[in-house]
Amino acid sequence: MSKLRVAVVGTGLIANIKHLPAWTKLQGKGQVELVAICDINAENARKVADKFNVPNVHTDLAQLIAKEKPDIIDICTPPKTHCPLAVLAAEAGCHVMVEKPMAMNLEECDRIINAAKAKNVKIMCGHSDLFYRSFMKGKELLAKGAIGEFRGMRIFLSTPRDYITAKEDHWGNKLPGGVIGETGPHVVYMTLPFIPVIKEVGVFALKMLGEYPWSPYEDYRIELVGEKTACSIACTYTNSEWLCEVQLLGSYGMMTLDLETQAVTVYKRKDLKPTSAAFSQLRQARQLVTETFAVGARYLTGGVDSTHDIMCAEFVKAIQENKPSPVPGEEGRETIRVLNEIVGQLEQKYGKTIDSK
């Protein structure tokens, strides 16, 4: 089977620390050939190309496609550019991976999806958190009935303020609704595997850090309500910590998925007797110790693939085996639909933060 030719568009942070290392790793395994990088900043593109030993640099995507003939275009640019770049790549017959959020609105999502369908190419939305070991294991355990029937969920996400909030010129602060437009897709798309149809949305926001006047809000509380179950979400950008935890409630137990440590713990407390509580805590501690040693051993032996390693590998596999994309455009579209409802409610409650047109 011939190697798939890959080109990456954009040379910012996400391309440097996530996408390019993932494609380089797959290239080392002989599965792809990383043929080109594209960025309007030619000097920066050349520096990044040299860093990752990519042979060709372009400043125009159409010219790149015509000359390099890639099979996959990986779009790692700001959201406002996703639609035109993805449509251009799809219309040229390239499979497209596009960073989250897929696009700015449903119309743009539909343009990307329709362009891909017309050329029979695949769209892969960069919903990377779906490929955390703990998240995948949690889905598997839930499907096997580890905590009974699914009853609901909760997500807590903490992103350090220095990542986006403290940076006046960061594009994330300029999105409708503020930084939630950049990281909000994560919590929405992590909800969809468990609650695929979101019928109602509720949201509250707080402006907590006066030293960052360009940041509309730094704390968000979101409720996503499905047909029978709901997800409660807390997103904070006020401290210095990276934290992300998903809790799944079942008919006879609860499961906690730590997306930072990759620990998965299941615990059940049918009563509040001291002995029952003590044994429950011991079982939880044993699971944490076991998970910690297992993950630590994999890190020490170099056996841990990043979420983007897995995501890129799964996309390549889907193309080679002509199977559906692991995260098709329709899932990206639904994420944008829900996210836009969140932003719409923010604007109704607190007024527009920017001109979102």
Contacts of residue 136, Cβ cutoff 8 Å, sequence gap at least 6:
130
Contacts of residue 272, Cβ cutoff 8 Å, sequence gap at least 6:
none
d(C-alpha 329, C-alpha 307), whole Å: 19
d(C-alpha 18, C-alpha 14), whole Å: 5
Numbered ranges of CATH 3.40.50.720 in the chain: 4-121
Q: Is the pLDDT of residue 355 over 50?
A: no
The angle subtended at Cα 193 by Cα 187 and Cα 194, nearest 5°, is: 90
Class of domain 130-306+339-349: alpha beta
Residue 285: CB atoms within 10 A of its CB come to 11
Q: Give residue 32's identity as a one-letter amino acid code.
A: V
Numbered ranges of CATH 3.30.360.10 in the chain: 130-306+339-349
d(C-alpha 262, C-alpha 249), whole Å: 18
pLDDT, position 297 = 67
In the chain, pLDDT over 70 holds for what percent of residues? 94
The DSSP secondary-structure symbol of 182 reads H
Least confident of 48-57, 167-176, 321-330: 167-176
Q: What is the mean pLDDT of residues 19-30?
A: 95
Helices (H), 11-68: 13-14, 20-28, 42-51, 61-68
**Coil, strand or helix at 356:** coil
Domain 4-121 grouped into CATH 3.40.50.720? yes
Q: How far apart are the first and last CA of the chain?
A: 45
Q: Give residue 317's identity as a one-letter amino acid code.
A: K
d(C-alpha 165, C-alpha 225), whole Å: 28
pLDDT (tens digit per residue) in 43-55: 999 999 999 999 9
pLDDT, position 281 = 73
Radius of gyration of the chain (CA): 21
**Coil, strand or helix at 342:** helix
223 forms beta bridges with: 202, 232
Q: What is the mean pLDDT of residues 227-232?
A: 96
